[in-house]
Structure 1
Amino acid sequence: MAKSTAPSLSPTNWVADHTQRYLDSGGENGHLWYGPNGELSEGVPTLLLTTTGRRSGQPRRTALIYGQDGGDYVIVASVGGAPKHPLWYLNLTADPAVTVQVGADVFEATARVATPDEKARLWPRMVEVWPPYADYQKRTDRDIPVVLLTRAS
């Protein structure tokens, strides 16, 4: 099978739609996300993360809520509290070289899972950004990972 260079979008329709709007507008429509049901009237910041499929080798792109920690971007592998990690998380643990788009800014980055001490500090900040994360953790027995994205030099 020939490798594609165009990233595939999320199989979840509303995430794929959000991602496509983000791309089509250069980040103007989609950087602030209001949720599929209009949650959080002020919107939450989202970025686009492109990983490499750990089995296919194909680029995969999805939109994710983010926070910041100094110069790093912080994302949460919650998948709504599902029992398994999201595929994007499994991909970046296999290959931490990722592409990130924040608004119109597109850059290469390295992903890494937060240490336990970092997670203890970052988790409450991410729950402030998106309060449902707290409920997501209650829904699952897995420890929901927090990931830092560091811009490549």
Structure 2
Amino acid sequence: MLFGKEHVQRYQETDGAEGHDWNNTTTLLLTTKGRKSGKAYTTPLIYQQHGRDHIVVASKGGDPDHPDWYKNLQADPEVGVQVKADRFRARARTATDEERPELWRLMAATWPDYDNYQQKTDRKIPIVVLESITT
């Protein structure tokens, strides 16, 4: 089972042949710019496609604090995304209250633990919409 730095490395080396399919779900790689360091950080995240957008959840396992990658994209919403061999730039935004119920159902169907994570924390777990930036 891969996750963390080894997951990222194998995903990048194999264009997602290893790492995209993980634990009966699918993952993408999200690259954000550190809000303090300015360094690039790549995180494997469970995702689903919704129309042309990719959806991820800033759950951090139900931790009371947001994950660092989410804090980074709040500071700089332009991110890098890799889905299998497809690499592209995207603009990240938090789903609106109107979008949230549908997107939460989509993501909880993909990874049922999201419902458990939400019950563990008082924070409203953000759903992030990754909108491809076409040049």
TM-score normalised by the shorter chain: which range applies? over 0.9
Report % sequence identity.
Answer: 51
Alignment match of 2:13 (pick from 15, 21, 24): 24
Measure how far apart 1:84 and its partner are: 0.2
Q: Map residues 28-67 of structure 1 onto 2, 5 A cutoff.
A: 28-34=17-23, 43-67=24-48
Q: What is the aligned length? A: 133
Q: Partners in 2 of 1:117 and 1:74 — Cα distance?
A: 15
Q: Partners in 2 of 1:109 and 1:123 — Cα distance?
A: 21
Q: Give the root-mean-square deviation of aligned CA atoms.
A: 1.0
Moved over 4 A (4+): none
Q: Gaps (5+ residues) in structure 2?
A: none
Q: Map residues 53-92 of structure 1 onto 2, 5 A cutoff.
A: 53-92=34-73
Q: Partners in 1 of 2:10 and 2:119 — Cα distance?
A: 32
Give the structure-1-normalised TM-score.
0.85
Measure how far apart 1:87 and its partner are: 0.1
Alignment match of 2:82 (pick from 63, 85, 101): 101
SS of 1:147 mapped into structure 2? strand
SS of 1:117 mapped into structure 2? coil
Between Structure 1 and Structure 2, whose CA radius of gyration is higher?
1
Paired residues of 2:27 and 2:45 also in contact (CA < 8 A): yes
Once the two structures are superposed, what CA deviation does each residue of 1:116-136 show, in whole Å capped at 9, x if it has no partner?
Answer: 111111101100000000000
Paired residues of 2:3 and 2:44 also in contact (CA < 8 A): no
Higher relative contact order, chain-length normalized (CA < 8 Å, sep 6+): 2
Give the structure-2-normalised TM-score.
0.96
The amino acid that maps onto 2:53 is D
